Structure 1
Amino acid sequence: MSNEKGKVGRQWAVGSLLLLLVGCSPGTPKFLAGDLSGVNHTSAAINHFSVNGYGGRNISPFGYGGGVCCVMLPSQWSPGLKFKVEWETDSDPYAKSPPLGTDEFRAFMVKHKAKYQQHTAIVELPPYEDELCALEVHFLPCHQVKVSTSCWRYPSPNSPIKEPLNMQEPAVCPK
């Protein structure tokens, strides 16, 4: 756990340094900073997620979350820009557990965590203009991901992502 905290701290420090450097450089900045948030359209919990190493927090099933500052993206969008989304899911987030602090609880958590799944997707960066409001990552059934750089956040009717929040996993996922 402390290793993960150290990683988050280093990412925050690097992101802050980049923000300072971008803010102090003459001319057009090479990167834009925006909030990173997520929308979970599935029944599994998202324990944590990241975009190119910039971390987002957990998201409950069929919920919103992960709002953190900041994700750094190139100031000039161009076709073919891609980034890596990584996330961990808990398919049974409401499992009944023994009382905290007991040996039974610790044994339960070992078995429960063994069922966590790690996922990775390479996603194309959608177009954006000179400003970047946020990068919103949508986790869909079948471990699919969609992203938006729109200033219109989900579930606004102006949001480019239109999938419903409460989506069910199909019996067979498309390849």
Structure 2
Amino acid sequence: MRRPLALCLLTCLALQACSQSLPDRLGAPIEGYSHTSAAINYFMVNGNGGPNIGPYGGGGKQNCCVSLPRQWHPGLTVVVEWEKDPTPHAYGKWPEPPFIDAWRARMKKEKLNNTRHRAVVEVAPYEELGVIDVHFLPCNQVAVSAVAVTPGQAGYPFNYPSKMEEPAVCPAS
């Protein structure tokens, strides 16, 4: 008598597990791309940190995670915050030997040139949630995708060149 009861209980539990819905939101890893000569010292998407990015670089290095809806919807935005270093290789040309007091003083002064930015950015449409890619563009513009394919593959929403130059004058936002 116990065997049929146990079998019935297991069957009910299995059916209940099958009926549970998938979560509405999923965690997606973050990676970034700098399309400019500036380094991105750090960036965050909705308060979650992405990796630092060298000039004209990025991709392949991910941090975890940002929660996004499983299904894209119109008006979906994220908040991107970042610090930009416009002269990331300047210290290589300094006459002071590295890490002495004069070098540290110059580094402290050089860091004052770094700028911090914040933008509310629309997420490009996606059918399947993938990696959150943040593209840093000239004039402190940012583009964000969350598709399940990588840049350069069919279906990727952006086709930015890896090297883009800052214009002499940026358009007014």
TM-score by length of 1: 0.78
1:150 to 147, 153, 170: 147
Structure showing greater Rg: 2
The superposition leaves residues 44-96 of structure 1 with CA deviations (integer Å, 9 ceiling, x where unpaired) of: 00000010001011101000145112221123322112111011000110013
Structure 1 partner of 2:37: 43
- Do the aligned partners of residues 160 and 128 (structure 1) sit closer, same or farther apart at CA in structure 2, a change above 3 Å counting? closer
Identical aligned residues as a percent: 49
The residue type equivalent to 1:117 in the other structure is T
Q: Residue 158 of structure 1: CA displacement?
A: 4.3
The residue type equivalent to 2:78 in the other structure is F
The residue type equivalent to 1:81 in the other structure is L
- Do the aligned partners of residues 64 and 155 (structure 1) sit closer, same or farther apart at CA in structure 2, a change above 3 Å counting? farther
SS at match of 2:62: strand
- 1:45-64 → structure 2 map (5 Å cutoff): 45-64=39-58
- The answer to whether the Cα contact below 8 Å between 2:46 and 2:78 also exists between their aligned partners in 1 is yes
Is 1:79 aligned with 2:74?
yes
Q: Residue 157 of structure 1: CA displacement?
A: 5.2
- The answer to whether the Cα contact below 8 Å between 2:123 and 2:143 also exists between their aligned partners in 1 is no
Gaps of 5+ in 1: 1-25
Matches of 1:125 and 1:91 in 2, distance apart? 26
Between the two proteins, the alignment pairs up a number of residues equal to 149
Structure 1 partner of 2:125: 127
- The answer to whether the Cα contact below 8 Å between 1:33 and 1:132 also exists between their aligned partners in 2 is no
The superposition leaves residues 13-67 of structure 1 with CA deviations (integer Å, 9 ceiling, x where unpaired) of: xxxxxxxxxxxxx422131111211111000000000100010111010001451
Matches of 1:34 and 1:134 in 2, distance apart? 6
The farther-off stretch of 107-116 and 95-104 is 95-104
SS at match of 1:64: coil
Matches of 2:106 and 2:79 in 1, distance apart? 32
CA RMSD of the aligned region, Å? Answer: 1.6
